[in-house]
Structure 1
Amino acid sequence: MSYTFPLAPMSPSIKVLTIILWLLPFSILMFSYQERLAVIVCLLIILLYGSIWIWFRPSRFTICTDYLKIVFPGRQLKIPFQDILSVSSISIETFKGEFGWAMRIGAGGLWGGFGWLWTSKKGMLEFYISRVEEFVFIERLNKKSLLITPENPAEFVKILQRQL
């Protein structure tokens, strides 16, 4: 039996940032539509946004019988349970206390944050978040730990802990 959790809805701050970022290419076009370079830049920005959606922003997290599957529109990432040391729900306050300050390496702001996150206390993490609260932290054995935001994080943690 498998359990599927969609990526959590965006938090208000990420939603506002996403709207602003989507206004950017259209603003450039609106004020410079006669410039060929402006059109090319806008098309490249939209192409970049599409690649983030397809390759970096997960649509759902599925807990299968022996692995966690992170599903993106253009790919899947399977994490065997034997690679998972622990899973827990953490708040933003707990994150700041345990991990210190963080610097994103990857996509950020457009639909959330995706890629790598360097933290001052624990080093590199892999992260796929759509909100800035109610994180799920998955500590992995020999790879970067994960920070994700599935919908209904408490239920996600409970089921994943039971499967481990």
Structure 2
Amino acid sequence: MSARSVDVRLVKAGRTKIRYPAEVVSDDGTLLTVRAPWAADGVRDFGFVRFEPGDVFTEHYWRDRWYAVKEVRTGEGALKGWYCDVTRPASVRGSEVVVEDLDLDLWVPADGGEVLRLDEDEFAASGLQERDPVAAAAALQALDALEALAREGRLPGADQETGLR
């Protein structure tokens, strides 16, 4: 496949949260993998990791899974870890990838440290469980599945990079 660009659009609560260009690495019709530099302005310090200008994200979007996995590296190539978003399955239309964020996230540090479940309070406050209980159940199942994959070292690239299994 020749390199092509797409725009990744992350939607939250019906509004575009961020939009950024990315280069397609591969697309098998189910799994789309793109690479993009850190797209937000400045540094974002979460306490457990800092995303900053120069960081490179290799992002894996499935059309049939309720999550996305983003491998995060420094500009020099050192692996920071994996930021996993619970989302509705990705929608790819032409040169646009649309992903609906469902608030739940998982951080998996490259050093094998503690896997962190994030934003469960935001998810509870979002009202999704009342508005769309089927989607809410799928989101919770996706978070559990991501955590199991992380603990087994089966996130994209995890076994090659860290030796986790």
Same fold (TM > 0.5) = no
Query: TM-score w.r.t. structure 2 length?
Result: 0.26
> Whose RCO is larger (CA < 8 A, sep 6+)?
1
Query: TM-score w.r.t. structure 1 length?
Result: 0.26
